[in-house]
Amino acid sequence: MKKKLLYLGCTLLFCAQVFSQTVITSQKSTGTWYPVMLGDNWDYINDGDTGGKQNDLVGDSNNPLLLVAKTTSAQVDISPGSTTTYRSEDIYHFRFRIGQLANQNRGTFGFLALDVDQDNVGDIFIESDGVNNRVIFHKADKSGGNDGITPAKSVWYNATSDDNLERNLEEFYGDSNSLDNTNSNGFTYDVDLENSVTSVLDIDGDKSTDGWQEFAFSESALIDFCL
């Protein structure tokens, strides 16, 4: 299955909606979403290289491909393997639009690249696993001539078993009995008509409703991984 990569170089500062929560919840209906990527022709529709409509990125100048929202949770478990060490933290929610959800409302695999040192090269890759609804952090692997200047040379560490290079957040912060969803979570759902977000349900014209894939993570988890 082909995986999609979205590049983003930014400082994570947005107006916050504050409420208390234990588990990160979707901001589909309650969040204030801000457009990050607007424009046309993000991906060729059914280009034969993506393995299905659920892997096609869709968006145009009036319907954003990528959106962001920010919330604050009073109960983020900051200690790996603990379920009692909580503190208030900011939560960042991103969602990107795809041609259609797959069977059982499953999404795809998308990667958001963060340029930490502002040199126009991705340093951290945030994986949104829309099949298992989880978030995984990866550090860039710049060995062997992989300078990150082009997509073909943008490589990240994968299947390393090293939490400093690759971190599944629900496993890293969970304990031996349960996964943790105070630091990350994922959601998939059909596009509906939302004011200032979208005015079209089927951008690619394939007679099926487009889908949103939302993923969220705590700021503290990202900072800890970067350091």
Quick one: how far is CA 155 from the chain centroid? Answer: 17
* pLDDT of 11 strictly over 50: no
Q: Which domain holds residue 137?
A: 4-226
What are the distances in angstroms from CA 45 to CA 40, 157, 221?
A: 12, 29, 35
Specify the higher pLDDT residue, 105 or 21: 105
Number of domains within the chain:
1
As a whole number, mean pLDDT of residues 23-30 equals: 90
The answer for residues whose C-beta is within 8 angstroms of residue 48's C-beta and 6 or more apart is none
The pLDDT confidence band at residue 69, using thresholds 50, 70 and 90, is very high
Which tokens is 141 given? 């692997």
Which tokens is 225 given? 């991984």
Residues 214, 133: Cα–Cα separation, whole Å: 9
Cβ neighbours around 140 below 10 Å, total: 22
- What is the dihedral sign for C-alpha 33, 39, 44, 49? negative
Which tokens is 120 given? 């126009």
Residues 70, 79: Cα–Cα separation, whole Å: 22
Total residues found in the chain within this entry: 227
For 104-115, write each residue's pLDDT tens digit.
788 999 999 999
For 37-53, write each residue's pLDDT tens digit.
988 766 655 555 555 67
Nearest to 207 by CA among 22, 45, 25, 39: 45
pLDDT given at position 16: 41
Residues 103, 10: Cα–Cα separation, whole Å: 34
The answer for residues whose C-beta is within 8 angstroms of residue 27's C-beta and 6 or more apart is 33, 69, 71, 93, 214, 216
Beta partners for residue 184, in sequence order = 217
Rg of the chain over CA atoms, in angstroms? 17
Q: Give pTM, 2 decimals.
A: 0.86
Which tokens is 7 given? 């590049």
